[in-house]
Amino acid sequence: MTTALAIEVVDEVIDANVRCTGCEAVCCRLPVLLMPGDAVPLWAIDVDEYGLEHMAQRDDGWCTALDRDTMRCTIYAQRPQVCRDFAMGGAGCLIERAEWYGDAASKCG
């Protein structure tokens, strides 16, 4: 027996005023599970106790692929699909900025 699951696809509203410049790359502290087809360099991959591959994080929580001097991704062309789908100015971005800064609107430039 199979169960059908209905999923409603909703267009994401993007805040056009939000830019990555001036941000402290707060999205680069989120856990990123790797999917089949992701082709990130081996040095940027960790495997958890369940055998799942995810982006490696430093002891301070930042992604190992983040250049801490420029706050830019060093593997941008090879970044995982999850990172590609994380919309700048989208709901997830705004939520993470609000949690990190306490007020997302003050750091959206």
Specify burial of residue 45 (Cβ count, 10 A radius: 0-12, 13-18, 19+). middle
> Cβ neighbours of residue 47 under 8 Å, at least 6 residues apart?
53, 54
φ/ψ of 85, rounded to 5, equals: -85, -15
pLDDT mean across residues, the chain: 83
pLDDT, tens only, 18-51: 777 767 778 888 899 999 999 999 999 999 999 9
Task: State mean pLDDT over 62-88.
Answer: 90
Q: Which pLDDT score is estimated for 11?
A: 66
pTM for the predicted model, two decimal places: 0.72
Would you state the pLDDT for residue 85? 85
Q: Which of 101, 39, 31 is CA-nearest to residue 75? A: 39
Alpha helix (H) ranges present in the chain? 81-85, 91-101
